[in-house]
Structure 1
Amino acid sequence: MTEQSDSSSWTPPDSSSSSSPSSSSSDPSSASGREPGWAGGYGNDPGPYQGSYGQPAYDQPPYGQAQYGQPQYGQAPYGPPQYGQPQYGPPQYGPPQYAQPPYGPQPGMPGPHPYHGPPAARGPWVVPVRPGVPFHQMARTDAHRWWRPLVGTVAVLGAAFLATAVLMILGIIGYVVVNGEPPEMKSDTSLFGNINADLGFNLAALALLIPIVFLGAWGVQRRRPGTLSSVVGRLRWRWLLACCGLALVFLFVSFGASALAGIFGDVPDEPEGRWVGWADFLLPALIVVALVPFQASAEEYVFRGWIPQAVGACTLQDRPGGGGVLGRALRTPWPGILLGAVLFTSLHGYTGWGLLDIFMFGAIAGWLTVRTGGLEAAIALHVFNNLMAFLLPAAFGRLTLEQGAVPWQYVVADVVPMLLYAAGAWWLSRRLRVETVTPGAPAPRPEEPAVAGRPADPGPAPA
C-alpha cells in the first residue's frame, strides 16, 4: 500500500531538466518539428518571441496589438508589394499593369466610332484693315476676293435704285394727300411740278446713298463702314471743322472770281435777278441747309470713297511678277481717282466746258482725299460749294435743277479757287500731322538677295 501510494503521488518536474537537451526529445512536437495547435494557449498565442542566442526575448504584446519583429508565416511582409501583388493606396493612372491588354482596338474587334467633335468656331464677320496702308487700299483686307468690289458695286446700285423708287412712291402719296391730285411732270427734271418739292426729292434721294454704301462695305466687303470715312475708321471731326474754315475762305474767293469773270469776261448776258423776299426764300433755304450736307457727303462717300477703294483693292500684287505695268498702275491712287471723277461727271447734266469743271472738281477732291487720308476735306469743299450754288439762285429767284453749258471764264474762276483750297488743305494737314495711312506698322518686307552691282534691299525705312 505504501509503495503504491508513493508511486501514484505526483511529483513536480525538475526545472533544470526541462532545459536539458534530453527533455526536447520527449516534446510531442519534436517528431514533426511543429508545435501543436493547443500549445499556444488562448487564441493560439505563440508565446514570447524566442530571439537568437545572446538576445533577450521580447514580451508578448497585449491582445489585439500587432507583434514586433518579423511578420509571422502567412502574413504579408511590410514594405513594397511583391511582384504580382496589388499595390496599396489609390489606383494609379496611366498605362495598364502587367498581364492586362493595352487600351485600344484588339485583333478581331471593331475599332472605335469616329469622333467628329464640334464644328470649328467662325471668326468675326468684320475683318480689320491692314496696318500702314493708304486710304485707297483700305478695302484690301484679309477677306478680300476679286469679286467683292464688283458684287458690292452692283449691290449698291441696285439698292440705290430701289430706295429711290420707294422714296418716289412715298413722295407721290404725300403730294396727293396735300394737294388732292397726283403731280404733273412738266419736264424731265421736274417730277412734282414744284421746284421746292423737286429739290427736296433729289437731295433726299442722293442722301440715301450714305447708309447704302455703309451696308455694302459691311455686308459684301466685310469691313467697318467707318473705313469709308478715313484711315482711322471714322470721321475726324476736328479736321473736318478745320476744313470747313478753309472752305469758307474758298467760298468768298470763288464768289469774287466769278464776279470778275462776269465783269471782264466775254460771257453771255444773264437776266438780272432781284431779292425774292424772306417769304419765298425761307422754304428753299431750309431744304438746302437741311439736306445739302447729306447730299454732298453721300456723293463723296460714293465717288471718292467707294469707287477708289474698290479699284485700289485690285492691286494684282499677288500675281507672279506683281501684275507688271498694270499692277504698278493699280497700286497708285490715280485709276480710282480718275474713274470716280468720270462717273461723277456723267451723272451731271452740264455740257461743254461745264463737263471739265465737274471733272476737275472730282479729280481734285479725289487727290485731296488720298493725300489727307480721309473724306473730310472733300466733304467740306463739296458742301460749301453746293450751298453757294443753291442759295444764291434761290435768293434771286433763279433756282432751277436744269444744267447746261458753262462759259470757260466761269470754269477758270471755279477751278483756280479749288486748286488753292486743295493746296491749303494739304499744307494744313501736314502742319496738324493728320494721319494719312492706317494705324500700325506695315508687315516687314523680306530682304531681297544682293545682285551684282546692287546691295541687298534692307526693306522699308522706319517712319
Structure 2
Amino acid sequence: MTAFEGTPAPGYPAPAPSAPASTPEPSGRTAFTYDHALRVAPAWWRGVVAIVLLVVGFLILSVVLGGLGVVVDLATGTYTLEDLAAGSIVLTPWTMLANNLSLAALWPLAMLLQWWLFGVRPGWMSSVEGRFRWRWVGRLALVIVPVWAVYVGVSYLFSPTDAIVIDGTVIAMVLVVILTTPLQSAGEEYGARGLIQRSVGSWFARPMVAFVAGVIISGAIFASAHLAGDPWLIAYYFVFGASLSVAARGTGGLEAPVLIHVTNNVLLLVPTALMSQTDMVFQREAGTAGPFMLIPMTLCVAAALFSTWWAKRNGVTTTAPLPPARGARQPTPATVAPPAA
C-alpha cells in the first residue's frame, strides 16, 4: 500500500500543466515533522476514535487468530483439552504464527483508519514523502544490523544456553520467526508510532507539546500491550517505544523504527527458536529482569540518535508540508503551527 522509489506518492495532486516544475510552495505551507502530520485534520474526536478502534481491532484479531492456533494444536495433538484447562501449554509454531499475524494486521488497519478518519491516504503513514523510502532503509541497515548482531551475539555469550536440536517443530518455529516477525514488528510500528502517536499529536498546535504527549501516550500503550509484570521490563518497553518515536520524528518516517524493531526481534528470536527457548521470551512476570536491562535501553536510545544524525548526513527529508487530505485545506500563516526545531 506504499509507493516505491521514483514513483509519485499516492494521493499527491499532480501539478497543473502550465505550472513550471520549480514553482515554489505557497507562503502558508509550513513544514511539519512526521509525528505532527495528522494536524491536517485536528478535530479531537478523530484521534480518540482512531486509537479506540485500533485497540479493539487488535483484540478481536488476537482472539480470532489465537483461537484458530489453539484449535490446530488441539487437532494435531500438541496438547489436550486437559492441558489447556490446566494452563500447562507451551508456545507452538501455530500460536506464534497467530500472534505475529494479529500484530502484523495492525499495519493495514492503522493505514485504513487514518484514511477513513483523517482523510489522509495510506502511503502518507510511511513518511513525510508519502512512501516507504527503501534506499534510505538500505543505507541505515548497513550500520544498524551489524551493530545489533554483535550485541545479540555478546548477550548470548554471557547467558545460559541450551543445546540446539533440529526437529520439525524447531524448523517450523524458525520459519515462522523469519517470515512473519518482520511483519509483526512493522505492524507494531504502524500502529503505535504511525497511528497512535500521530493521533495524539493532532490534538495540539504546538509541535513540541504534540511530540511529548504522543511519546508518553503511545509509549504507555506500547508498554502495557506487552503485559509485563517486571518493573525493569516495563521500563524497557517504554524506552524502546520512546526511542522509536524519536527516530520517527528525527528521520521523517517509519523506516528507521521498523528497521530497528525488525532487527531486534528477528536477531533475538532466531537463536531462542533454535534452542527451543521461545517460551522464555514471553516470560515477563516480576523478577525475570533486572538492571542489566539498562544495556538494551541504552542501545535503543543510541540507535534513535544515530538514525537521526545519519538521516541528516544522507540528506533524508525529515519535514514537509501537511499531507493532502480529503476535504482539508492548508492552514494559513496565522493559524498554522510554527516550524519544528
Q: Is the 8 A contact 1:208 1:298 kept in 2?
A: yes
Structure 1's consecutive aligned runs of 4 or more residues displaced over 4 angstroms after TM superposition are: 172-184, 186-190, 439-444
Computed over aligned residues only, the root mean square deviation of the Cα atoms, in angstroms, reads 3.3
1:194/1:135 CA distance change after superposition, 3 Å: closer
Cα displacement (A) at 1:271 = 5.0
Q: Which residue of 1 aligns with 2:198?
A: 309
Cα displacement (A) at 1:244 = 2.3
For 2:99, the aligned partner's letter is N
Measured in 2, the distance between the counterparts of 1:302 and 1:168 equals 19
* Structure number with bigger Rg: 1
Measured in 1, the distance between the counterparts of 2:179 and 2:107 equals 15
Q: Is the 8 A contact 1:251 1:385 kept in 2?
A: yes
Measured in 1, the distance between the counterparts of 2:156 and 2:42 equals 49
Out of 122, 129, 132, the residue aligned to residue 232 of structure 1 is 129
Q: Is the 8 A contact 1:276 1:395 kept in 2?
A: yes
For 1:158, the aligned partner's letter is V
1:163/1:353 CA distance change after superposition, 3 Å: closer
Cα displacement (A) at 1:127 = 9.6
SS of 2:118's partner is: coil
Cα displacement (A) at 1:349 = 3.4
Q: Which residue of 2 aligns with 1:382?
A: 261
Where do 1:119-158 residues align within 5 Å? 132-141=31-40, 143-158=41-56
Q: Which residue of 1 aligns with 2:274?
A: 395
**Structure 2: gaps of 5 or more residues:** 1-10, 14-28, 324-329
Where do 1:334-353 residues align within 5 Å? 334-350=212-228, 351-353=230-232
1:298 is aligned to 2:298: no
For 1:281, the aligned partner's letter is V
Cα displacement (A) at 1:329 = 5.4
For 1:308, the aligned partner's letter is Q
Cα displacement (A) at 1:161 = 2.7
Out of 298, 301, 304, the residue aligned to residue 416 of structure 1 is 298
Q: Which residue of 2 aligns with 1:368?
A: 247
SS of 2:278's partner is: coil
Measured in 2, the distance between the counterparts of 1:189 and 1:366 equals 37
Q: Which has the higher contact order (CA 8 A, sep 6+)?
A: 2
Q: Is the 8 A contact 1:304 1:369 kept in 2?
A: yes
Measured in 2, the distance between the counterparts of 1:378 and 1:213 equals 16
More helix by proportion, 1 or 2? 2
Measured in 1, the distance between the counterparts of 2:274 and 2:262 equals 18
Cα displacement (A) at 1:407 = 4.0
Measured in 1, the distance between the counterparts of 2:88 and 2:213 equals 32
1:249/1:328 CA distance change after superposition, 3 Å: closer
1:445 is aligned to 2:323: no
Q: Deviations over 1:263-304 (max 9, x none)?
A: xxxxxxx75411122645321110001110111011111111
For 1:403, the aligned partner's letter is R
TM-score, scaled to structure 1: 0.58
User: Which of 417-426 and 364-373 deviates more?
Assistant: 417-426
When the two structures are aligned, how many residues end up with a matched partner?
303
Measured in 2, the distance between the counterparts of 1:246 and 1:231 equals 23
Measured in 1, the distance between the counterparts of 2:105 and 2:180 equals 11
1:200/1:384 CA distance change after superposition, 3 Å: same
Q: Is the 8 A contact 2:37 2:322 kept in 1?
A: no
Measured in 1, the distance between the counterparts of 2:191 and 2:88 equals 22
For 1:334, the aligned partner's letter is V
Q: Is the 8 A contact 1:152 1:221 kept in 2?
A: no
1:428/1:171 CA distance change after superposition, 3 Å: same
Cα displacement (A) at 1:242 = 2.1
Q: Is the 8 A contact 2:110 2:194 kept in 1?
A: no
For 1:201, the aligned partner's letter is A
Q: Deviations over 1:46-89 (max 9, x none)?
A: xxxxxxxxxxxxxxxxxxxxxxxxxxxxxxxxxxxxxxxxxxxx
For 2:35, the aligned partner's letter is H
Q: Is the 8 A contact 1:250 1:417 kept in 2?
A: no
Measured in 1, the distance between the counterparts of 2:139 and 2:12 equals 31
